Amino acid sequence: MSTLYPATSHEENRTPYKFKITGISVYSLEEAAFHVCNYWRESGDEFPTDEFIGWTRDTLKLPFYASKLTELSKEQALSSRITGFLSLFEFYGETELAPLRLALYEWETRLLWERLKENADSLYKQGRPDKALPLYRQALTHTEDYKVLNNCAMALMKLHRFDEASSLLVRAVALEPNNLQLMLGLTESSILAHNFSLARSTLATAEALEPNNSGISYMHGLLALTSGAPRSAATFFRKALDTEYNPHFIYSLAQTYIKLREYDNAEEILKSLPQKDAAYYTIRANLHKLTNNIPAAILDIEHALLLNGTDANLWAKLASYHRQNYDLPNAERIINKALSIDQSNSRVRFEHAKIKNALGSSREYQTALSEILGEFKAGFRQLN
C-alpha cells in the first residue's frame, strides 16, 4: 500500500514555537523557515536560540536538524545564520536566496556604520575629534550617508583640516542638494580653507533657497572677515544677530570689534549674553589682556576653567597670562596641569617651551620649538 511521506517536521505536532517579536506560532520547521525568510528583521536575533533548537530536537523529534541549527548558532553574521537555515530546504535555492543575501548584507552594513557613527558622535561631543575621525572614516567605507559625511567634516574642521572637510561636504551636498545646513557647512569650510570661489558660489546657491536665513548673513560676515574686511564683517554679524539670537553670532561680533580695536563695543555686545559660559570668559580675558589688565584676564580664565576644567588650551592660556604677569612659579605649575591633560597639544607644548625659556632654560626652549616645527612639517606633508 502506497504511503505519502509527510514534510520534514512531524505533521502530528500540536506544540508550536511562538516567535516573540512577531507573536506568530509555527508548527513545523518548514513554517519556521517561511517565517524567518519573511520576518528576518524581527526574528534574526531570536534565531536560532537554545529554545528554538530544543523545540526542533524535543518537540519535532528532529535531532539531525537540531544539530545543524546548533552549528548555525555559532555563526556571528546574521546573513550566515539565516541563509544557512534556509539552505536546508530544497525550495530555497540560489535564485530565491540571492535577493535575500543582498538585503541582509545591506542591513548588516547599515547596522555597522550606524554603530560607528554613534560612537564617533559620542567622542566628538566629548571634545575628542581626533578620536572620532577614524570611526567616521570607517563608517564611510560602508555608506555614503550625508550625515556621516557632515559629521566627519565637522571633526576635520575641529582639527583645522579645512580642505578635507570641504571635500566631504561637497559630496554631502551632492546627495542633499536642497539641504541648507550642509551648504552653510560647505561655505564655512571653504572660507576657512581660503577657497573663496567655492565659498561664494555655495553661499549664492544657499541664499537663493532661503535669503533671510541668519546663517546666510553670518557666512557673509565670516567671508568678509577672512578676506580682510572686518568692518563689513561686523555689519553682517550684526544683521545675523538681529535676525536670530545666537551666542555664536555675539562671539563673532565681539571678536570682530576687538580686531577693529573697538574694545568698548566688544565689551558692550558681550554684556548682552544672558548666560556667561566658558567662551564668554575666554573672549573677555583676551579683551582685558589687550587693554593691559592681565590680573583681570587671569580671573576671567579662572572663571572659564570652573565651567570647563578639562580644556588643556584654557590651562595653557592661564599659564601664559601668569607668565606675562611675571609669575613664573604659577605659570610652571599651571602648564604642567595642561600637559597632564593633553601632552601632545602643540599649543600647550609651545607655552611650556616659553615658560622654560623665561626660567632660563633656553636650550629646552629651542629643542621644543624644533620638535613642534618638525611635527607640523610632517603633518603638512601627510596632508599633501
d(CA 52, CA 277): 57
Q: What is the pLDDT of residue 384?
A: 33
- SS3 of residue 26 by DSSP: strand
Q: Which residue has the cell 505536532?
A: 13
d(CA 284, CA 32): 68
β-partners of residue 26 are 17
Q: How far does Cα 131 stand from its chain's mean position?
A: 9
How far are the Cα atoms of 122, 278, 310, 346 from residue 129, in angstroms, in the given order?
Answer: 10, 19, 15, 16
How do the domains of the chain map onto residue ranges? 17-92, 107-211
Q: Which residues contact 53 (CB under 8 A, 6 or more apart)?
A: 66, 69, 70, 73
Find, among 202, 264, 194, 261, the residue nearest to 231 by Cα: 261
Question: pLDDT for 75-129, tens place per residue?
Answer: 888 788 888 888 888 778 788 888 888 888 777 777 788 888 988 998 888 778 9
d(CA 71, CA 15): 24
How far are the Cα atoms of 33, 56, 257, 264, 349 from residue 64, in angstroms, in the given order?
Answer: 16, 9, 80, 85, 67
The pTM assigned to this predicted structure is: 0.68
Q: What is the pLDDT of residue 168?
A: 97
Instruction: For Cα atoms 271, 286, 251, give the angle at the middle one, nearest 5 degrees.
Output: 45
How far are the Cα atoms of 48, 94, 98, 326, 336 from residue 301, in angstroms, in the given order?
Answer: 59, 67, 62, 17, 17
Q: What is the pLDDT of residue 245?
A: 94
Q: What is the pLDDT of residue 374?
A: 64
Instruction: For Cα atoms 97, 99, 100, give the angle at the middle one, nearest 5 degrees.
Output: 60
d(CA 78, CA 54): 20
Q: How far does Cα 374 stand from its chain's mean position?
A: 29
Q: By the 8 A CB rule, do 33 and 8 touch?
A: no
d(CA 47, CA 49): 5
Q: Give the length of the chain.
A: 384
Mean pLDDT by 10 residues, the chain (384 residues): 47 80 87 88 78 93 92 86 86 83 79 85 86 93 94 95 96 96 97 96 96 96 96 97 95 96 95 92 95 95 94 95 96 95 87 90 77 58 36
Question: pLDDT for 14-61, tens place per residue?
Answer: 899 998 878 889 999 999 989 888 888 777 777 788 999 999 999 999
Q: What is the pLDDT of residue 12?
A: 62
Fold of the CATH domain 107-211: 1.25.40
User: What is the largest distance, in Å, between two alpha-carbon atoms of the chain?
Assistant: 111
Tell me what the pLDDT averaged over the chain comes to.
88
